Amino acid sequence: MTALLAAAAVGATTAAVVTATLDSSGTKTVTRNVTVTNAQPTSSASALSVNGVWTRAKSSVVDIKVQTTSQLGQQGEAQGSGFVYSKTGYIITNDHVVSGASSVSVNFPSGATYKATVVGADPSTDIAVIKVNAPASVLKPLAVGNSSKLVVGDPVVAVGSPFGLDGTVTAGIVSALHRQIDAPNNFTINDAIQTDAAINHGNSGGPLFNLRGEVVGVNAQIQSDSGDNAGIGFAIPSNTMKSIADQLISKGNVKHAYLGVSITEIPSAVAGQLGEAAGVAVKETIPGQPAAKAGLKAATSTRALDGQQYPTGGDVITAIDGQSVSSAAELQSLIDAHRPGDQVRLTVTRGGSSRSVTVTLGTRPAQAS
């Protein structure tokens, strides 16, 4: 299975499992395990108890009710969570919570309910911003932490409204970092936080805290055979959330850079047997998109090794702007750091020879093919 970049692709050596988003829509997604080891330890200074985190957060985590209308005119309902982002009424939640909304209402812990408008949503990162016209006394923004400082084993606390039970608190640890999960538009979200803090349907859009009471993630998905909590949940990292939310507030939308390829990783362990360079092989180029326009060559055949199919005969991307690339996640992250219209210099290997290709990045389409 492959995805388009800048979606990453499912690498030939990664494992896939079925997961479920946390609202009531029943949407299914896929998560992939990507090993990256660049996190820095989070500070234990000023650590709070779980009750201390909840006490600080309880007035700022909200329950979101959504009315939807399908293209056929059918009415529906959805429910999720969110949290106050600013004293001007901006609230963070997931895109999949408010997608297709005809009306949105926000219930505060005080019992007050306010109508909300959708300011903007980004399906590529599953982040949305809504706005309420509420008194300043009701709007208590939460502090946002630096998710890049998390390490595996850090304690975390989730607060939200699973099954509509507002103000529910659960605690656990960071079980893993740098997971890849599928976005609502089938592109890939990098750097997702995996946690064993119990989260269920209705937790979507709610905050994941460190023990300093800072938001370090936005709860979004679970892995479960039953559809309920099984001890593996995923949150969008706060650094991604903040970047996307600020753009949605200022512009109403987010445009992501796009290369326009489907790719498969070529690990160094098998590169020699394949007669290819280690890196990210171009499996396909999308007609009319940046990679194709720049002349990147797609694979001409495949070869099976240890039960995995690897593309051969095309370009293998080994670096972007001089920075080495060994995985689909690294390639996506480097593309995501750019904007549409930016030029990047790809180092590619074809037929044993290395060359440089300059590509002008495009704009990611609304939906992955």
Write the DSSP assignment of 161-225 as a string of letters. -GGG-TTEEEEEEEEEEEEEEE-TTS-EEEEEEEE-S---TT-TT-EEE-TTS-EEEEEEEEE-S
Q: Which of 63, 95, 126, 315 is catalytic?
A: 126
Token pair recorded at residue 67: 């009315």
Residue 63, token pair as written in the block: 């329950």
Residues 6+ apart with CB under 8 A from 22: 80, 94, 162, 199, 200, 201, 202, 203, 204, 219, 220, 221, 222, 233
**57 phi and psi, to 5 degrees?**
-90, -20
Question: Chain-centre distance of CA 202, in angstroms?
Answer: 18
279: left (phi over 0), alpha (psi -120 to 50) or beta: left
Report d(CA 171, CA 337) in Å as an integer.
32
Q: Assess whether 96 carries a catalytic annotation.
A: yes
Q: Percentage helix, strand, coil, to 5, in the chain?
A: 15, 40, 45
Instruction: Using CB atoms within 10 Å of the CB of residue 113, give its burial: 0 to 12 exposed, 13 to 18 middle, 19+ buried.
Output: middle
Q: Structure tokens of 277?
A: 């360079």
**Catalytic residue flag (residue 256):** no
Marked catalytic residue, from 96, 178, 201, 256: 96
Of 204, 224, 262, 327, the catalytic one is: 204
DSSP 273: H
Q: Is 342 a catalytic residue?
A: no
Give the residue numbers annotated as catalytic, written as ranges. 96, 126, 204
